[in-house]
Amino acid sequence: MARPFFASASMLLLLALAIPLHAAPPPGFEDAVVAAVASPTGLAFTPDGRLLITTQTGALRIVQNGALLATSALNLSASICTNSERGLLGVAVDPAFATNRFVYLFYTFRTFAVCEQNTANSPVNRVSRFVLPAANVIDRASEVVLIDNIPSPNGNHNAGDLHFGKDGYLYVTTGDGGCDYAGNSGCAGANDASRDPHVLVGKLLRITRDGAIPPDNPFLGAGTARCNVNGRTTAGQRCQETYASGFRNPFRFAVDPNAASTRLFVNDVGQNTWEEIDLIARGADYGWNIREGSCANGSTTDCGAAPAGLTNPIYAYDHASGCASITGGAFVPNGAWPAAYTGAYLFSDYVCGTIFTLTRNADGSYSRSTFMTGLGVNSAVAMTFGPFNGTQALYFTSYANGGQVHRVAFTGNRSPTAAASASPLSGPLPLSVRFDASASRDPDGDAVSFDWNFGDAAAHGTSAIVTHTYSAAGQFDAVVTVTDARGARDTATVRISAGNTPPVPRIIAPATSGTFAVGDTVTLSGTATDAEQGTLSGASLSWTVLLHHNTHTHPFLSPTPGSSVRITAPAPEDLAAATTSYLEIRLTATDAQGATATVAQRFNPRLVNITLATDPTGLSLGVNATTVKGPTTVTSWQGYVLHVTAATQSDSAGQPWMPLEWSDGGAPSHAIVTPASAATYSARFAAASRLAPSADTFVRGGASAAANFGSNARVELKLSSDPGFVRETYVRFDLRGVATIGAATVRLFGAISDARATNVPVTVQGVANTSWSETALTWNTRPPSTTAVLDTAMVADAIAAWHEWDVTSYVRAEKAAGRNLVTLIFRAAAASPPHLAFNARESGANDPELLVSAEAPSASPDIVLYAGDRARVAGTWRDVTDPSAAGGARVAQPDAGAAKLAAPLASPAHFVEWTFTARANTPYRLWIRGKADRDQYTNDSAFVQFSGSVDAAGAPTFRIGSTSATTYVLEECGGCGVGGWGWQDNGYGAGVLGPPIRFAASGPQTIRIQTREDGLSIDQIVLSPAAYLSRAPGATKHDTTIVPK
């Protein structure tokens, strides 16, 4: 293919030229193209020599007896998602294939009718077994789903490789999903989903050919469960399918054919710093997202031995050389290649187009050397060894040149590489064409000869450059055969369309000047004309979208036919990629004679500068796992979620600073949806006093119920069904040296005691009894907690760190009541195999502390959302311009006469969502200003759900993804009638207020309004903790009140 070029109008025209990239294998090896297959993702051989090729678009292709079969063995395109990096990603052949005919596929199943990202309707990955008969056509009814509902939230980082080990078990890799499936950490480097042992993400799985659990899998028995049906189990347990964990995107792995037992190398694609190769050990944790390579996440200096419970890779390389995405891997079978390759491992890099050799040194370390270069960007996606000429050769797939499968074989004499171009490729008769094969080369430097077969029965040409005239109309394949002095040869083909001109495609939308915001629904529309056929139908058009990221691309939309298709605009890979990423839209038209032309257009995100400041200046902030000093300006995309954190810290003089709030009213850690224009967000800190505890200890039940642990250097926590394992921690502080308390935060330094658990929630409560003795307190004498939960913090992993809880309300109340001694009790809120350990005051360093400040956060502000702020509309909901609405816009669902729904849906098709930041432990009154079509009461209601809402007792309620919702009815008293815009809450009955909305944690939240009755419009939502807690912002009908933001 010709390399694409951008013209001044940011358009490019791609025509079919046979000019391959010049891959350079070492002397004695030759590289040959086995098959041209679009978007090839995986390879596997059957024992009878058939080569199976998976394609991202869903087809399983077969090469048999050296030829690509015209018909796919299986086509899953109707039931899979192929956007982003989703699709049919991997294939494995059963070791007993000769008798059972089993093959195994990893693909992204379209669970719902859509292929969404980071919603309840996102598709899932699955592993299925099929039967491949000798006729090479798979009956879809032979499918047996072995593992299902593996999350694919963001579309990328699916992993998807499958291989049988020498132990006869099937191994499968899964990625971290790109963004956290649970929505509680973030995306890219901040995504901690791989740390969750109860979900099949970021894992290496191991099952039997029937999907059962091998008896020697590492996680069996108590505290474990099957995850094959739901892709997960209860938090606090482990999935029995897990064999190893802590991966980001282990896209490809390999089984060593030379080892006596199962030996695996996993290639784990890195974030921005390191690519790594992991030697798999049973039950090992390879550290993502705590570690990247042999270093702390994102670091090139904080490196060395892995923390306890984690395992370093055997080899890692940084991105300095331009290689930045490890992909395929394969061990060289002993005897297949010269002795120098005995025991070698080959791996490839998708970005720099290179295959490397990895060999072990005498000291046990590993070194790499270059095996083959010049493969081009987006190449060597998958690799395997397979049969060739009585021995074995390396086969690999590449997205380059339109998609190809290559074979690299040791021959002693390397074949020449043929390259051909022609001009023109089409035109009226007689058509004179100049052919050029002068770019052909022989890697050994041998002289070459040329033979041109023009495809029309004319005499052959024998020069590198020849001219030939076509006098008859038709499609002709001109083939040049290039032969070296020792008889090795290669061919290249150029298709000529004589008596025909290629069509002319044109992209109508988006406009060349168009830009997108994250989450936008973008309609791609285009047309094509042809000199011979006129206007082509939509069936002759095909759309492809690429996501450019730094120096490489990711597939975003696989070839999709039609004159008009829709895509949902993506977010950048991470914040660092915001300035180096964009979409490339390609429209290809094909006429009746097979002539094609492609036009491409760059589609840019709307860049927005966001300034993050601190008061006072110079303190540190976190944004999407990156640390900055305030003030710092970062470049984001409109609609991209920025997770900002203002953490407790000390300045150079040792003065502690407590975060109080952000200028947008958000909690110290919350999410900001990047607005349409530049904005500044400032975090306010307060100088704090540090109080050491006057006493601390933990108590333990069961056989230790009478034991005292007051002299221990650690305090411990654990929740268990066995009372003998349960531990709780008591800490007491003396407030007599503090005059005024505006804010108070208690902090403990510690971690989970080992890597068997992640993300354990820990609660803190007040205890009225302050007279207990550190050296006498036991489980049997422990005082009870006397308050509700004050705050909850998540202890993420086995890496020691500070954890903090907001105890302002309790400490302030105790001080105001004249009680200067304060006792706090800490409890683990979820069961976990290991306990949690924190430094006690006896440890001598990083002791428990209470930070208090005279300054207080301001009152929680009202949350005001306009229709124009919506994050997402789905189904028949639409954005409508309306001068009478807040901000000049409303969201509306037209009245189609649909019946009223009796109950909310867990996965609705029609809804609209907004994102906002709320505070925990704060009751909000929900108010919505709506308008019913034609002022009909049959158009006036909706179901309302939230991402993190809880009831007064802290139990989840009204949650997105459930069938629980609160109901909004504009006419909340029967027979009152509706008229124009009106304000109502979630109560029903004149003057009756609905239940307040509470949230489990401070930070980002999503509100979803789903259809109950169609025909409703909404322009404002208010969640008020104060101003409108007991009164409406405006009238119930004929209202003109616009609540300002």
DSSP SS3 for 188: helix
Q: How many CB atoms lie within 10 A of CB 459?
A: 9
**396 contacts 381 by C-beta, under 8 angstroms:** yes
pLDDT (tens digit per residue) in 500-528: 999 999 999 999 999 999 989 899 999 99
**Going by C-beta distance under 8 Å and a sequence separation of 6 or more, which residues neighbour residue 376?**
21, 23, 353, 398, 400, 401
- With beta carbons less than 8 A apart as the criterion, state whether 372 and 383 touch: no
Residue found by looking up tokens 């531990």 in the block? 727
Q: What is the DSSP letter of 459?
A: P
Distance CA 925, CA 945 (A): 14
Q: Could you read off the pLDDT of 524-549 as tens digits, one per residue?
A: 999 999 999 999 999 999 999 999 99
pLDDT confidence band for 990 (50 / 70 / 90): low
Tokens of 59: 């087809």
Among 208-222, 252-266, 657-671, the least confident range? 657-671
Cα(971)–Cα(1012) distance, integer angstroms: 14
Residue 406 near residue 383 (C-beta atoms within 8 A): no
In this prediction, what percent of the chain has a pLDDT beyond 90? 76
**Does the N-terminal peptide bond of residue 559 adopt cis geometry, omega within 30 degrees of 0?**
no
DSSP 922: -
Residues 914/1032, Cβ–Cβ less than 8 Å: no
Between CA 760 and CA 780 the distance in angstroms is 25
Provide the pLDDT for residue 201.
98
The better pLDDT of the pair 975, 477 is held by 477
Residue 502, amino acid: P
d(CA 330, CA 336): 13
The stretch 191-197 carries a mean pLDDT of: 94
Strands (E) in 175-283, as ranges, are 203-207, 224-225, 238-239, 242-245, 252-255, 264-268, 274-279
Backbone dihedral region for residue 193 (phi beyond 0: left; psi -120 to 50: alpha; all else: beta)? alpha
d(CA 229, CA 149): 7
Lowest-pLDDT range of 456-460, 554-558, 577-581, 691-695: 554-558
Check whether 290 has a pLDDT greater than 80: yes
Contact of 163 with 253, CB cutoff 8 Å: yes
Q: Residue 348 carries which DSSP code? A: E
Please state, in angstroms and rounded to a whole number, the distance separating the CA atoms of residues 164 and 46. Answer: 13
Average of per-residue pLDDT across 563-584: 94
Q: Is the pLDDT of residue 771 over 70?
A: yes
pTM of the model: 0.75
Neighbouring-strand partners of residue 918: 1003
The amino acid occupying position 733 is: F
Q: Is residue 764 within 8 Å of 789, Cβ to Cβ?
A: yes
- Note the pLDDT of residue 1008: 96
DSSP for 94-132? Answer: -TTHHHH-EEEEEEEE--SSS--SSSTT--EEEEEEEE-
Q: What strands lie across the sheet with 632-637, from one edge to the other? A: 632-637, 607-615, 679-687, 656-662, 649-650
- What is residue 903's predicted lDDT score, i.e. its pLDDT? 93
Q: Is 486 in a helix, a strand, or coil?
A: coil
| pLDDT value for 952 | 81
pLDDT at 550: 87
What does the alpha-carbon distance between residue 717 and residue 921 come to, in Å, rounded to a whole number? 24
- Assign residue 887 a region (left: φ > 0; alpha: ψ between -120 and 50; beta: otherwise): left
Quote the pLDDT of residue 973. Answer: 59
Q: Residue with structure tokens 């190809």? A: 404
**DSSP reduced 3-state for 771:** coil
**What sign for the dihedral angle of Cα 125, 131, 133, 137?**
negative
Cα–Cα distance, 68 to 223 (Å, whole number): 49
Cα distances (angstroms) measured from residue 48 to each of 52, 160, 162, 337: 11, 25, 20, 22
In angstroms, the CA 991 to CA 798 distance is 52
User: Which pLDDT belongs to residue 970?
Assistant: 85
Predicted confidence at residue 5, as pLDDT, reads: 24
Predicted local distance difference test score (pLDDT) of residue 7: 27
Instruction: Please name which of 603, 595, 644, 639 lies closest in space to residue 620, comparing C-alpha atoms.
Output: 644
With 0-12 / 13-18 / 19 or more C-beta atoms within 10 angstroms meaning exposed / middle / buried, residue 564 is middle
pLDDT band at 17 (very low <50, low <70, confident <90, very high): very low
Tokens encoding 598: 């492609």
The pLDDT of residue 943: 96
Q: Looking at 859-1006, list the stretches that DSSP marks H as alpha helix, in order from N- to C-terminal side.
A: none
pLDDT confidence band for 14 (50 / 70 / 90): very low
And the tokens for 780?
């049997």
Spatial distance between the Cα atoms of 826 and 789, rounded to a whole number of angstroms: 10
What pLDDT shows up at residue 1?
25
Nearest to 530 by CA among 482, 581, 484, 595: 595
Q: Which amino acid is at 94?
A: D
| H or E stretch covering 35 | strand 29-36
Is the pLDDT at 566 greater than 70? The verdict is yes
Rg (CA), the chain: 32
Local confidence band at 18 (pLDDT 50, 70, 90 cut-offs):
very low
Strands of the sheet containing 29-36, edge to edge, are 29-36, 404-410, 391-398, 383-388
Nearest to 247 by CA among 300, 315, 186, 191: 191
Rounded Cα distance, 542 and 555, in Å: 15
Distance CA 451, CA 459 (A): 10
Whether residue 227 is predicted with pLDDT greater than 70 in this model: the reply is yes
Average pLDDT over residues 167-181: 97
DSSP element (H, E) containing 872: strand 872-874
pLDDT band at 284 (very low <50, low <70, confident <90, very high): very high
- Please give the average per-residue pLDDT across 283-296, as a whole number: 95
Give SS3 for 702.
helix
Query: Within 13 Å and on the Cβ side, how many CA atoms surround 244?
Result: 26
Q: What is the mean pLDDT of the chain?
A: 92
Q: What is the pLDDT of residues 779-803, one digit of tens each?
A: 999 999 999 899 899 998 888 999 9
Distance CA 680, CA 476 (A): 62
Which tokens sit at 810? 């309790």
pLDDT tens string 126-166? 999 999 999 999 999 999 999 999 999 999 999 999 999 99
Tell me the H-state helices in 768-922: 808-816
CB atoms within 10 A of CB 772: 19
DSSP 813-852: HHHHTT--EEEEEEEESS--SS-EEEE-GGGSSS--EEEE
Q: What does the alpha-carbon distance between residue 698 and residue 716 come to, in Å, rounded to a whole number?
A: 6
951 near 935, Cβ under 8 Å?
Answer: no
Closest by CA position to 841, among listed 853, 828, 850: 850
pLDDT tens per residue across span 706-765: 999 999 999 999 999 999 999 999 999 999 999 999 999 999 999 999 877 888 999 999
Bridge partners for 620 per DSSP: 629
The pLDDT, as a whole number, for residue 600 is 96
- Checking if the pLDDT of 242 tops 50, the result is yes
Domains in the chain, CATH or no CATH each: 24-214+232-410 (2.120.10.30), 426-498 (2.60.40.10), 504-524+531-605 (2.60.40), 607-685 (no CATH), 690-853 (2.60.120.260), 863-1024 (2.60.120.260)
When pLDDT is averaged across residues 70-82 and rounded to a whole number, the result is 96
Q: What are phi and psi of 841, to 5 degrees?
A: -65, -20
Task: State the Cα–Cα distance between residues 602 and 65, nearest whole angstrom.
Answer: 42
Segment 34-63, tens digit of pLDDT: 999 999 999 999 999 999 999 999 999 999
Model pLDDT for residues 852-908, shown as the tens digit of each residue: 999 988 777 789 999 999 988 899 999 999 999 999 999 999 998 888 999 999 999
Please check the confidence at residue 12 and state whether its pLDDT lies above 50.
no
Whether residue 975 is predicted with pLDDT greater than 60 in this model: the reply is no
